[in-house]
Amino acid sequence: MKVAFIGTGSMGSLLIEAFLRSGALHPHQICASNRSKPKAELLAKRHPGLRITHCNAEAANGSHIVFLCVKPLDYPSVVTELTDVLNEGQIVVSITSPVGIALLEGRIPSKVAKIIPSITHSALAGASLCIYGSRILPEDRLLLEQLMSSISLPTAIRESETRIASDIASCGPAFIAFILQQWAQEAAKLTGITLDEAVRLGAEMLHGTGKLLTEGGFTPQELQRRVAVPGGVTAEGIAVLQNGLQGVFKQLIEATHRKYDDDLGRLDLLFGAKPGSGADKEA
Ligand SMILES: NC(=O)c1ccc[n+]([C@@H]2O[C@H](COP(=O)([O-])OP(=O)(O)OC[C@H]3O[C@@H](n4cnc5c(N)ncnc54)[C@H](OP(=O)(O)O)[C@@H]3O)[C@@H](O)[C@H]2O)c1
């Protein structure tokens, strides 16, 4: 099986390296293209056998799966470049949330899926969010899920849930890292602990908490009940969080959705589609 990656920035490179590390793909199965040369050249240097090209159409040509790993506003030009080389048998995977499956199906002859990855896949962990277009057959879905399960937990979602699911699975690591950073900085400022030590303890705590929630059979409520015994120090801390976080997640969800809606509008313009007609609509 040949797999192409168009765009080898942060996510394209991360996916390639995770697939290679997991053993799901070998370098000779991969062809990668990128607008500027150095990022793709670095990958080829690190993984002998991995083919790179400056031409997106050349990378896609003959590949069974084509991952589109460019930013949303670069989609229109990339899709235009690929239209003539793609065929009905290929699977095109978009990793970006606002570009709708129906819109892509209207522009290219291939089968289309949207898979939103997460930085957590570089640790071969985290959920990848999978949305399948109307041309995807059960065997295509199986192939994609087999591939994605080598680096993540593939999780099927509805396209209308893309934003909120991406907030949690894909933006979530940055949100949680921000909270840990704030907490550790304050801990270092107020007590004798060093910032490094506070971050290390917090990271181990997050690792363990994730395991308890995924493999340990705990729900978030049960975890709180087990740790925050009545009258204890944890209960005091939870009371502070209850007060301080009031409305924060509502604001966060509203902010990400607002930005997403802006991106949808700009994409409609770039694709020359009627506003609200193409991007992120149910396929
Ligand atoms: N970062 C995340 O955690 C994350 C998570 C889930 C999904 N995503 C999605 O993944 C997509 C890529 O994000 P990213 O963080 O990887 O961005 P990025 O680091 O900027 O990478 C995008 C890459 O696309 C290349 N590119 C742009 N136009 C191109 C073209 N016409 N042909 C070939 N390559 C082209 C860029 O090349 P240059 O070197 O010339 O700039 C760059 O290397 C975005 O849509 C984002 O929403 C990101």
- Tell whether 115 and 244 lie within a shared domain: no
**Above 90 in pLDDT, residue 251?**
yes
The confidence score (pLDDT) of residue 117 equals 98
- Cβ–ligand 1 distance for 198 under 6 Å, the answer no
- Tell whether 157 and 180 lie within a shared domain: no
Q: What is the CATH number of the domain that holds 76?
A: 3.40.50.720
The confidence score (pLDDT) of residue 278 equals 53
Confidence bin at 275 (pLDDT 50/70/90)? low
Q: Stretch 97-123: mean pLDDT, rounded?
A: 96
The confidence score (pLDDT) of residue 264 equals 86
Look over the chain and give the mean of its residue pLDDT values, rounded to a whole number. Answer: 94
Confidence bin at 280 (pLDDT 50/70/90)? low
How much distance in Å is there from the Cα of 205 to the middle of ligand 1? 31
The confidence score (pLDDT) of residue 5 equals 98
- Tell whether 83 and 207 lie within a shared domain: no
CA 55 to chain centre: 25
**Above 90 in pLDDT, residue 282?**
no
* Domain of residue 230, residue span: 165-250
- Can you say which residues are annotated as belonging to the binding site for NADP(+)? 6-11
- Provide the 10 A C-beta neighbour count for residue 201: 14
98 inside domain: yes
Helices (H) and strands (E) in the chain, counts: 12, 8
Confidence bin at 266 (pLDDT 50/70/90)? confident
238 inside domain: yes
The confidence score (pLDDT) of residue 271 equals 81
User: Which has the closest alpha carbon to 67: 41, 34, 36, 37?
Assistant: 34
- Tell whether 37 and 114 lie within a shared domain: yes
269 inside domain: no
- Cβ–ligand 1 distance for 100 under 6 Å, the answer no
Q: Stretch 251-263: mean pLDDT, rounded?
A: 94
- Tell whether 148 and 175 lie within a shared domain: no
Q: Stretch 231-243: mean pLDDT, rounded?
A: 95
Q: CA–CA distance from 106 to each of 15, 25, 79, 111 (Å)? A: 26, 30, 11, 11
272 inside domain: no
Q: Stretch 135-160: mean pLDDT, rounded?
A: 98
Alpha-carbon distance of 84 to 113, in angstroms, equals 19
Question: Could you tell which of 15, 70, 163, 264 is best to mutate to test the pocket of ligand 1, judged by most ligand atoms within 8 Å of the CB?
Answer: 70
Confidence bin at 283 (pLDDT 50/70/90)? very low
Residue whose structure tokens are 């809606």: 261
- Quick one: DSSP state of residue 65? E
**Above 80 in pLDDT, residue 220?**
yes
- Tell whether 208 and 140 lie within a shared domain: no
How much distance in Å is there from the Cα of 187 to the middle of ligand 1? 36
Dig out the tokens for 56 from the structure. Answer: 């997106």
- Cβ–ligand 1 distance for 69 under 6 Å, the answer yes
- Can you say which residues are annotated as belonging to the binding site? 6-11, 56
Asked if residues 165 and 97 have their Cβ atoms less than 8 Å apart, the reply is no
**Above 80 in pLDDT, residue 244?**
yes
Confidence bin at 263 (pLDDT 50/70/90)? confident
Q: Stretch 98-114: mean pLDDT, rounded?
A: 95
Tell me the chain's radius of gyration from C-alpha atoms: 21
- Tell whether 60 and 174 lie within a shared domain: no
- Tell whether 98 and 177 lie within a shared domain: no
Chain segment 30-58, per-residue pLDDT in tens: 999 999 999 999 999 999 999 999 999 99
Chain segment 155-203, per-residue pLDDT in tens: 999 999 999 999 999 999 999 999 999 999 999 999 999 999 999 999 9
Q: Stretch 232-257: mean pLDDT, rounded?
A: 96
Domain tally, the chain: 2
- Tell whether 60 and 71 lie within a shared domain: yes
User: Which has the closest alpha carbon to 125: 50, 215, 46, 216?
Assistant: 215
The confidence score (pLDDT) of residue 10 equals 97
- Tell whether 11 and 104 lie within a shared domain: yes
- Tell whether 157 and 170 lie within a shared domain: no
263 inside domain: no
72 inside domain: yes
The confidence score (pLDDT) of residue 129 equals 98
